[in-house]
A and B are shown apart, each in its own frame.
Chain A
């Protein structure tokens, strides 16, 4: 399975944008880039996913490099509630795959008031 590399931790100030990087230099053409986050004492929750084009949803934006070897999750205005561990995951989208997620250690985001 293709591997991702993320910084162990990052800090942000409340109401400022946050850019969380992810390197995935061995990504294949069939891998989608997924982001999940895990708030303290909760199960992970889906944030966003994309293949080649940048994506936006109500939670975040995903910027994907042209060569797809890296991506950045963007939180436009961090809130205290965004303090969590953010996981960048590569995932096959073929119907035959079992679809389980392969988590790394993620990036622990701290948000200061």
Chain B
């Protein structure tokens, strides 16, 4: 399968713990996006990368969140000192450039903070 993959698919953690999610985009895609989706809402943009450079961060991304994309390939999203409000589906998408290029989404990582 050459689509976007995310790992893990589900994560249950206790409040205060750190968690890290991984996204593997489609190999030739230079743009990678992270979104967060809570129940009943559409996905909300968090941040995006062009190659290895993180070019934009939403104000939703508090300083407990950090994202990296070393070497412009896979990306990780880390949440430190998780809170119950962080419980959501975290979606990764990739695209070939911007503009008209469609974004391809992964299946998401569902985070539950107890």
Taking Cβ atoms with an 8 Å cutoff, the residues of A that contact B are 32, 34, 41-46, 49, 85, 87, 93-95, 97-106
Contact = CB atoms under 8 A, between A and B. Distances in A.
A46 B103 contact: yes
B95 interface: yes
Given A98-B48, A99-B95, A106 B104 contact: no
For the residues of A in contact with B, the DSSP-based class is loop
Nearest to B91: A43
Contacts of A102: 45
Nearest to B100: A93
B108 interface: yes
Contacts of A42: 105, 107-108
Nearest to B101: A99
Interface stretch (B35-43, B67-75, B79-87): B35-43
A43 B106 contact: yes
Nearest to A108: B40
B2 to A, nearest CB: 15
Interface of B: 4, 31, 33, 35, 40-45, 48, 55-56, 91, 93, 95, 97-108
Nearest to A85: B42
Given A99-B95, A100-B56, A105 B100 contact: no
B42 A46 contact: no
A34 B48 CA distance: 19
Contacts of B106: 43
Nearest to A34: B102
B91 A104 contact: no
A100 B40 CA distance: 20
Contacts of B100: 32, 49, 93
A27 B107 CA distance: 31
A103 B44 contact: yes
